[in-house]
Structures are given as C-alpha cells and as structure tokens.
Chains A and B, each alone.
Chain A
Amino acid sequence: MSKISDNDLYGTNFSIESMKVIAESIGIGNLADDAAKELADDVSYRVKHIIQDAAKFMNHAKRTKLIQSDIDSALKVKNIEPQYGFQSAEPLPFRFASGGGRELHFIEEKEVDLNDLLQNLNPKAPLECALRSHWLFIDGVQPTIPENPPPVAKTTQKLESVDPINKKPAKETSGKPTTGKQKLRNVETVQIKQLATHELSVEQQLYYKEITEACVGSDEGRRAEALQSLSSDPGLHEMLPRMCTFIIEGVRVNVVQNNLAILIYLMRMVKALLDNQSLYLEKYLHELIPSVTTCIVSKQFCNRPDQDNHWALRDFASRLMSQICKNFNTSTNNIQTRVTRMFCNALNQADKVPLSSLYGALQGLSELGTEVARIFILPKIKVIGARIESHLEGSLISNIDKTASGHIKQLLIKVLAPILKTIRDPPDNLEEYKQEYGYLGIALHNAVIKARTQPNPVTTVPSNISGTITSSSSITRTVTTPTGIIQQNSNTGRTIVMNPPRVSTQQGNQKFVFVTQRPQTPIGASQSQTNTSTQQNTVVKFVSNAAGQTQQKLTGQQKLVVVSNPMQTNFSTQSSGLMSPTSQPPAMLISKSSFALQQQQSQQLQPPTVDDLSHLA
C-alpha cells in the first residue's frame, strides 16, 4: 500500500503488487499488469465502500472502534457472504512498525500452545454483563468516590505545573460571565495568577490528622492502611501541599534528632504519594528531592550507627530518587542530570566525605541505572578502594568505619560485577584487575568469575571478612496480574500482598529466616483459581547477628507494601459479595469510602508478624 498523506482525498489504494501476490496465492501465476491495475482500483473502491458502511454500524453501536462484526454486517447489507472465522470480542490490536523507509501496520498473532488448549478443556466463560450504580453527582456536586474520576485529572495537574499561565478557569466559574476579567487581560500585559484559597473541609482535616498520625505512629497495621490510602485514594489533590510540608518538616527535624524509624516512615509516605495514580507531584519536587537526598547521603541517622541499619533507609530513598527521576525527568527540568551531578560531587571528594555519605552517593548513583554506574562510579573505584582499604585492613580499626567500608565494598561489587562482566572479555586476569581497580580488584575479579559461571547474574553472595551475608537487595515483589480473565484491570490493578509465615531458628551466631511468599488475592477469589502463574518463592536469608537484626527488619518493611487499587477491584470482581447487581443508588456518600474499603480489605490480611519497627523508635 502506498503512503497516506493528510488532506489527501484519495487516500491509499491497493498496489498492483498486492494484487499479483494475492492472485498467486490462489494459483493465478502471471496476472497481466493491466488486469492487476484494473483489479486493484476496483478492489480498493469496494473495500473502501464496505468500510464506510461498517462505520455506520460502529456508530450505531455507540462505539468509537471498528470491530470485525461491523464489517460482517456491512457485507451482509450488501448481500455478500460475511467472512466467517474472524470473530473477536474486541478490536484487533494493530501494531505499528517502521523501518527502512516503510511503515507497516500488522496484527500480532500469538502462538498458541496446543497442549495448553488440550488441557484446558473448558475455556473460560466470558463474564456476564452486570449493572452497578453510583452517584455521579448530587445537586451538582460530584462526590469523590472511586467510581468517579479524580476531581482534578492528572493531566490537568500536570498542565498546571508545567504551564501555570494557561490554566483554564475553574469549572465552577465556567457558567458565569467573565467578560470583565477578559477585557482587562487584553489591556494589560502582565498576567496575574488568580489567588486560590485552599481550605480543607473538616473531613479532610480529620483525614490529614488520622493519616499523619498513623504514618508515624507505632501501630504497623494502621500504618499499612494509611499508606495504602495515600497510594490509592483519588481525592488527595487538595491535601498534597500539606502532606509534603509534613514530610519535609519531619525529615528536617528527625535527621537532627537521629530518629531513624521516623525517617523510614516518612520515606514510605513519599513512596505512597508517588505511587498514587491520581496525583502529580511535579509542583512539590523542589521540596521533596532535598528531603529524599538527605535520607540518602546524610552523615548520621541514628545514635548507634554501628548497629542500626540506616543502610536500608539509604537504599530505599535511593530507589525513591530513581523513581522520581524516571517519572518527572523532562528536557526542561533535567532532574536526572542534576541529581547525578549532586551525587558525583560527593564522589569527587571521596576522601573527605564521611563513609556513610559516600555509601549513600554510591547507592543513589547505582539506582539510576547501569549506564550511570559505569560512567560515574567505575572511574572512581581506585580512590574509593584506597579509602576503604585503610578502614578494613588498617591497624586502627573503628567498628563504625569498618562496617561502613564493608557495606561500600559489598555495594560496589554488587553493582559493578555485572557491568564488568559485560564490558570485559572473558579471560579475567587477576593482575589486570588489581592494576585497574586497586584494592577492590581481587573481590571484583572473584565476583566477575562467579557471575560468568552462574546462570543467574543477579544474586551475588560475596564471602568477605565482615561476615555479613545478605542476599541481593532486589525487591521480591509478587505482582499478580490476572491473565485476561478480567478485562478491566489489566495494567493498574495491582495486588501485592506478602504473607510471611516464618520460622526462625537460632543457630549459634547466625539466624536463618525463611520467608515464604505466596501471591494472595484478598478479594477476588476467582483470580487465584485461574491465575496460572501462582508460584511459591522461598527466600532464604542468612543474616549475621550483629548487623543483621536491623537488616532483617528492613527487608520485611520493604516487603510489607500493600498496594491495591480499590476502584479496580470494585469494578472487576463480579463474583465477590462486594458488588451487588441490584441497582439501588448508593446509600451513603463519604469522600473516604475507599479508605473504609481498605480497612475492610486489610482486615483480611494477616497483620505483619515479627517485623515490627517500633522498637527502633
């Protein structure tokens, strides 16, 4: 087919080549050019005609996508036998590919494993159409419930923060005449942004109080609920500035007071806000980024730096930073560049900054991706190696510095080994490594050799003198994505639930922690039955007694992220009792109904066991 250009009344036509290929496929070898031309013209005309008619059927079915049955109906109307065997309930997902100056639209056809087909004797029945009622608005006011779109759409929030002058007048004023203002606008060149009052309703104030208390309080169960609400409630837009202020001030105060636990909680709040689909944090980044950075590179977070696991906070905050960079980096704000530069500055003074800050900077850089790590960390490795060598092997050994150096070493090996594996060619010469990477050469050499022999490059278990053995910090999340059974929640319906029935045994100096993970679906019982990817991961952790205690706690903490989108589950789980097909208008209207729902949900969850961070406080 030839290319389509805009505003061309004639559009595309079948080419002569297409006709010839089609003719060949039905056994007509040498179709004359004239005949092919004639055919191509006629076929193009007929096909376009049919598509025009099919569009009528699409319009009458009140759709905006053409589906196969529309074409069939159009053929039927023209008294042509419809094409059998191309039925599909949904429009075909056309893929687009271009290359070599050609553009191609095609349908991706999946390979079907016949064994699966044979074993799955009863194919899944399509879900029955059901009715659900909710208040769209009451006396002209739209309630903030999961069934309704968020009061300020994410796109408008985004627009507002990127281009505040072009802010559209609020919906409420759209009905009233605004001629006076507009006239003024034409005369004066200075545009003044309208003052917006942000008054929180009593309910919102209560909510704010509850949430902030729960987030930094001692009850882990309530915290989980509060964080879940923060990460999924659609109506938080108005409270966002206050939440951010809470976090910023909290970080400022607690860093000084060395209150590690609170800092962790605050970072979890940032994470929850980042995860909220209906919020756009761009406007508050200038406040949040310094706070997060503080939690990565600050010199000291706790009173006992040799015992408490402030490393985990640095790791967690680094991940947050990389998430922020990923979400909000644009060509105008250059967040990633600026963050990278900031960490590099710390690296450049590798012999002056405290070891804990050095660790934070390294971790922050490594979370930004392997490319960043390769460019910025690798050249510095010799200097860093020299510095930690003195702490690890030297005679004047301070326990704090030793631990810190151990962590740095471990981190560097973990990050750099996969990179070295790819940039260096197989014969790994120990001497070369020593020459190039100094003190860390030996350890890196070992790690690379190991990585080459192991099929799984992620987990590196270095044996080093400090005796701390940790499994790789890759987060073990189990995301259950329903495989096509429920069409509504394909991308955002996340149900991440961990259920750790654990056995701890004390063996001399070491502690074995078995964490069994099983994807669970708290509400949609039907999901787990049909979910084929149900699997059991057993993670075994060897944790030394000294530094490990806190480590173990923190891993637990990271995993106890319970994220679910209540709105999604509402809409999709037909079989559950949450949804009644009877169609009574919703009886009560509270802006926090999703919060209530979450409470329900989390009651079904098992409260987090052993790992309670409260003792840290």
Chain B
Amino acid sequence: MDKGQIAAVLQILKRYNLKGTEELLRKEASLEDNADEDVLQPDSSVSSVLTGYKSDGDPETYEASYMELKHFVEGTLDIYKHELGTILYPVFVHMYLELVYNGHTEKAVALMKKFGPEQDSYYQDDLKKLALVMKPDHMNGNELADTFKSNQFIIRISRDTLSLLKRHLNDKKASVLLNIIQEHLYFDMYEGVARNKKQIDATSGAIGGEAKRQDNKTKVYYGIPKLPDIQSLSAPVEEEEEVGDQDNPDKPKKKKAKKDPLFSKKTKSDPNAPPADRIPVPELKDNDKLEKVKALREASKRIVLGPELLPSCCCYTLLNANYSVCCAEVSEDSSMLAVGFNDSIIKVFTLVPQKLKAMKSAEQLEEVNIEAEDVLVRMMDERSGETSRKLCGHGGAVYSVSFSPDRALLLSCSEDTTIRLWSLQIWTCLVVYKGHMFPVWDVKFSPLGYYFASASYDRTARLWATDHYQPLRLFTGHFSDVNCIQFHPNSNYVATGSSDRRVCLWDCATGNHVRLMTGHKSPIHALAFSVCGRFLASSGTDSGVLIWDLSHGHLIAQLMGHERAVHCLAFSRCGNVLVSAGLDCSMKIWDFTKLTEDASSEEVNVSHNPDVKIGTEYLIRDFATKNSPLINLHFTRRNLLLAVAIFDGTNV
C-alpha cells in the first residue's frame, strides 16, 4: 500500500467517525498527524485512488496500442500465439474501462465497436454488459466493471511465452499497455510447453480469468468414509438389542469404525476419505438407524445400470403450472415431492400410497404411550392424511427446497432473502434463517442432516446448522451470483456454481476454497457429485455438461448435446450412468463408467489440464418429453429414475 491509498482509507474512516481504527492505522503506518494536511484531497480522489484507473494517457493512443499488441500477437510463432492471445481480452476490457473512467466516451465506444466483435465468442455476452457502461458513474454498481476494477485477471502462461511478452513490452515502452498489464493482469507462470488453442479454450471463459495453480493445490479428501454404523447394520437382528443401550456403547464403536480404516486393510476404506471426526456430526438416533437399515435393504435390490441395462423413468408432470413453478425436489427415499412456486407457496405431494399425516394435538399426544414400540406411528393423527399439503410463509418466489435425510424437515429459500425450515410432522414453519441480504437461489441439506448450505444473489454461499441462527461459515470469492450449491457425499465439502462461470469447492471445516475450476462459458445452474465422490458434474445455460476431476481440479469432459439450459443432473445410485435434462424438453443418458475409465487410463499431469473429451461418444440415449421442460431428476434407491417436468401447454 502506498501513501495515497492509506490516506484514502484514513479519509473514509474519518468520515464514518471510526476514531479508534483510524488511530490504530495511523500508528501502524507510522503516519504523523500532520500528514493529514498533506494528503487532504477532495472526496472524489478516494475512489480514484482505489480504482487505479486514473490515467493521464492520451486517449488517442489506446486504439493504436491495442492494434499494435494485436499485431504482435498475430506475428509470433504459432506455439506462443494462442497463449499470448489470452491477454487481448483483458487488455481490451481494461482499456475500455480506462477510457470510460477518464471521460473519453466516444473513444471508448469506437474501441468497443472496432475490436469488441472480434473477441472470443464466449466473451460476447460480457461485452454486451460492459458496453452499457458509458459514463464514469455507470461504473459504480456495474457488476462486471466492479469485478474487473478490483480483481486481477488471471492468465496462465508458460515461461517462454511470458518472457516473449516481457521482451516485447520492454522494447515498445507503450505506457498505456504496460500500466494495464502491471496493474490488472496476473500471470500465473508455469514451466513447460505453451498450450494450444484447444487447451486454452477448454478452461477459459470465466469472468476473472483462469484458476491459478495455487488454487487447486490443497489436498481434497474426496473419498467416502465407511458407514460409521455398518457393523450394526449388516446384522439388523442385533440392531434391536443395541437399541436398548445404544447411547454409550454405540459411540465408541462408531469412532473405532471411523478411525481404523487407515490401518485395518480388510475394511478396504477409501484412502482419500476424510477422517471421520473432521467435521462434528450429531449422533444417529434410533429412527435414523432403522432408516439406514431400510435403505440398505432397498439398495440390495438395486439393479446395476449401464449401456446394456438402461434405467426406467417415471415422469411426474406438473399440470396447470406453467410459469408458476420454480423448483421441485424429491426426498431421498423417493416418498415425497416438494414443489416451490413463484407465488411463495410450497406444496408437498406424496409419491407413495401412504398419505401425509400431521402430528396429533398436544392433548392427544399426552395420551400416547412413550414406551411403545411404534411411538412414532402413534404420534401421528391417522385421520389427517392427505395426498398433498401446502406450506405458506415465504414472501417471494421459492427458488429451492430440500428435504432432510430423515424426512422430518424441509428447507426452502426464497426471493424474500430468507431460508425457512419447515416441519413435515406438524406442517408449520420452525425457523426463519435471516442472513443473506439478497434473494437466496439455492439451499441444500447435508447428506448427514444437521448442516445445510445456501447460495445467494449476494455472491456468497453460507454453511448453516439447523440449531444456529447465524451461519457457521461464509464462503466468499465469487464475482457474481452463486446460483447453485451441492454437498459432497462425505459432507466435508460444498461445491458452488456461479454466474461468474466458475465452479468452486469449499472446505466446510476451514471455510477456504480448495478447488477453483474454470471452463464454463455461461452461468452455472446445476451441480452433481459422482457417487464415488471424486468427480463433479456441472451444467448451466450454455447447455453443456462439464465433468471435473476433484483430485486435481481438472476438466476431463465436456458433454454437449442439449439445446437449452440444463437445470438438472443426476448420477445413478450405482454411479455408472449420468442423466442430464433441461429446458429443451429432453433427457440424455451418459455412460459415466466409460468416461472415467478413459480418463484414468491417460497419464495425469498434475500441472496441466489433460485433453478434454468432447463429443457424443458417451451418450447412450436421449429421450424427449412432450413440451415439458424438466426441472428435477432423482434416482430411487433401486435405481428407478424419477423426473419432474412442467407441462407447457402454450407451445403445443
């Protein structure tokens, strides 16, 4: 920080009357009080100091120096050409913003008109947004301009290419160019051969440039830990005996099961699994255990899917719901479907013959024998069964709903900036979590329950626990809305997808980002972890499905074929098949086993992204619905595919 910046900060502190902080900062920066007078500047200077766009450069020179840079890039050897080409876009954007900032609107517009259309096609949408900025005061509050202003654009570049560029800049001494490159560009240099066009295109496209190598260096425990209570579950008969004295004896047993994988080889635990006590998890209740047993029994009847054995799909079509349904979610055991509406209502449907019952009233509950075996059944009022129930409380469109693993709770998030927790036993709202300042786009329960995560318009994702009003972790770093969030199957990580076209993996334990993956060309709207936990699928409005390897953060495949935004992704429970579906009324089934086999057969170079697999060779089959955009996919425990669609009668 130079003096000018410190002075600007001091000025702000003074304005807001934060005397303590001001004094501390003065002391630390060893600035004398009298320095105040030296740097006392009009208010406007504050912003100018911080933006770094103040420039006395002659507006006439911008176009010429961009031209000159372009010629230089085109004139270099083919191996360096493409990598050097990546600096053109950020330089262009910053030149435009600098011109706008200094009031040379005509020059800026001329620059944009001349060179804008020749930038890469995936930047055109952003350029359209930037083109809106035509006055210095437009720059405040413009998401894109703010991002470019306050962040360095990251460019991965080989040593040779970088030295070539440096030599060129030294030769030319083009001050405008030099300034921009020094101030706003960050070169993440690597040793080795420069990348080719295909490799660069695969990972570029995000708002802030590519991910740094440093971003993906942390070790990620992507494995799935052994089920803590597997011993008790494998012999369900014992289960009943344990129930009596489960509290104490069960706990150490669990611990043991969790810890031993590292040295007991016969359990064959995943070496990449996180230690079981990495994040605290509430103990399992009797009911949860029964549920687990049930799930395991069901799972044993599961069919293993593959190219030869395709799944069956039952499609639930929502009628009369055009333009009113925002989201839908099926509970883990496939017994319930929750639908969030534009008009702030949530509706829960039962998908099984059992109806949705409510709990008895307080007086009646007193009569229930607590010691009884079936106390949970007795609690419920038999006469209150209904096939669908409404939950009212939100004040805006409901953008996402999520069932708790035990099916007793439902989370919903809304345009009214709140997250609500609902009881599916008494059918009322239990908690309103306020924390986000802007609409909340997505909310998900952790696979273990208790924790949940939310993503919002305010560019943050947050980790919550159901018994805390305040978020436990705040995941910040995205440059734009966080559109979707997903828990890793081992609950230790959450992945977020954002409108800044980056996928990020966050560590719940530390709150840091551990993977940053670029390659999407438009906002990301859906995420799904593979069953093994190593791969992540993401998709969005660019209608491609991208597969990432979390071990190194590499993009391994780009599955193209959809024609419109893909809003739902699902892995089969056996992990062999990936299904994607979206607003183009089609559903595609991909061969995921073949994909991972092909990917692992190649040699993995840690620093380099491997060649991205593109194409339809992994597509097994696609199916169309009748004018019904698909909004949710879910595999039942037996690998039956459930799809939720909205019938669009207006296009018939």
Contacts and interface: CB of A to CB of B under 8 A. Distances in A.
A and B held together in a complex: yes
A492 B651 CA distance: 11
Contact of A175 (B318, B457, B619): B619
B319 A10 contact: no
Contacts of A177: 617
B625 interface: yes
Given A9-B127, A59-B565, A142-B623, A90 B322 contact: yes
B319 A130 contact: yes
B324 A77 contact: no
A128 B320 contact: yes
Nearest to B652: A492
Contact of B647 (A148, A571, A582): A571
A523 B272 CA distance: 61
A146 to B, nearest CB: 8
Nearest to B315: A136
Contact of A133 (B317, B342, B483, B617): B317
Nearest to B484: A60
Interface in B299-350: 307, 309-327, 337, 339, 341-342, 347, 349-350
Contact of A487 (B322, B397, B438, B587): B322
Contact of A60 (B347, B399, B646): B399
Nearest to B142: A49
Given A41-B134, A61-B326, A147-B626, A139 B310 contact: yes
Contacts of B128: 9, 11
B423 interface: no
A236 to B, nearest CB: 16
A382 B313 CA distance: 69
Contact of A73 (B311, B315, B415, B647): B415
A41 B100 CA distance: 14
Interface centre among A89, A131, A139 (most CB of B within 10 A): A131
A148 B313 CA distance: 12
A77 B438 contact: yes
A198 interface: no
A553 to B, nearest CB: 36
Nearest to B438: A77
Contact of B320 (A69, A91, A127, A134): A127
A148 B625 contact: yes
Interface string B338-366: 01011000010111010000000000000
A133 B622 CA distance: 20
B523 A59 contact: yes
B525 A126 contact: no
A10 B387 contact: no
B132 interface: yes
Interface in B488-502: 499
Given A140-B310, A140-B621, A133 B316 contact: yes
A148 to B, nearest CB: 6
Interface in B552-581: 564-565, 567
A137 B325 CA distance: 24
Contact of B347 (A73, A129, A489): A129
Given A62-B567, A129-B339, A492-B652, A9 B131 contact: yes
A73 B317 contact: no
With most chain B CB atoms within 10 A of its CB, the pick from A67, A69, A489, A574 is: A69
A424 interface: no
B650 A60 contact: no
A56 B481 contact: yes
A175 B307 contact: yes
A459 B8 CA distance: 90
Given A10-B109, A133-B317, A492-B652, A69 B342 contact: yes
B649 A489 contact: yes
Interface residues of A, number: 67
Contacts of A69: 342, 397
Contacts of A137: 310, 312-313, 623
A10 B315 contact: no
Contacts of B589: 140
A443 to B, nearest CB: 47
A151 to B, nearest CB: 10
Given A73-B396, A171-B622, A60 B326 contact: yes
Contacts of A171: 621-622
A137 to B, nearest CB: 5
A136 B623 contact: yes
Interface in B353-412: 353, 387-388, 396-397, 399
B315 A134 contact: yes
A132 interface: yes
B529 to A, nearest CB: 21
A45 interface: yes
A57 interface: yes
B310 A57 contact: no
Contacts of A491: 652
B324 A62 contact: no
Contact of B316 (A77, A131, A490): A131
A61 B397 contact: yes
Interface string B445-484: 0000000000001000000000000000000000001010
Contacts of A59: 483, 523, 525, 541, 565
Q: From DSSP, what is the main secondary structure of chain A's interface residues?
A: loop
Nearest to A491: B652
Given A136-B314, A139-B309, A148-B626, A583 B349 contact: yes
A504 interface: no
Nearest to B117: A7
A142 B311 CA distance: 11
A614 interface: no
B267 interface: no
B421 interface: no
Interface in B29-82: none
Contacts of B627: 149
A77 B457 contact: yes
B626 A149 contact: yes
A185 interface: no
B608 interface: no
A62 B327 contact: yes
Contacts of B564: 64
A73 B312 contact: no
B583 A64 contact: yes
A586 B312 CA distance: 12
Q: Counting chain B CB atoms within 10 Å of each CB, which of A136, A571, A584 scores highest?
A: A136
Given A62-B567, A136-B587, A129 B325 contact: yes
Nearest to A64: B583
A487 B650 contact: yes
Nearest to A492: B652
Contacts of B322: 90, 487
Interface in A525-570: 567-568
A134 B317 contact: yes
B619 to A, nearest CB: 6
A341 interface: no
A127 B321 CA distance: 9
Contacts of B142: 49
A174 B647 CA distance: 27
Contacts of B127: 9
Contacts of A133: 314-317
- Of B307, B313, B387, most A-chain CB atoms within 10 Å: B313
A65 interface: yes
Contact of A56 (B313, B318, B387, B499): B499
Q: Which 10 A-B pairs have the closest CB atoms?
A: A140-B310, A488-B649, A136-B315, A127-B320, A136-B313, A9-B131, A129-B321, A585-B314, A61-B326, A149-B626
15 contacts: A129-B319, A131-B349, A132-B316, A133-B316, A138-B312, A140-B311, A148-B624, A174-B619, A487-B650, A572-B319, A572-B649, A581-B349, A583-B349, A583-B351, A586-B314
Given A59-B525, A581-B349, 15 more contacts: A45-B132, A62-B565, A62-B583, A63-B583, A69-B342, A90-B322, A129-B341, A130-B320, A131-B316, A135-B313, A138-B313, A140-B620, A149-B627, A175-B617, A571-B647
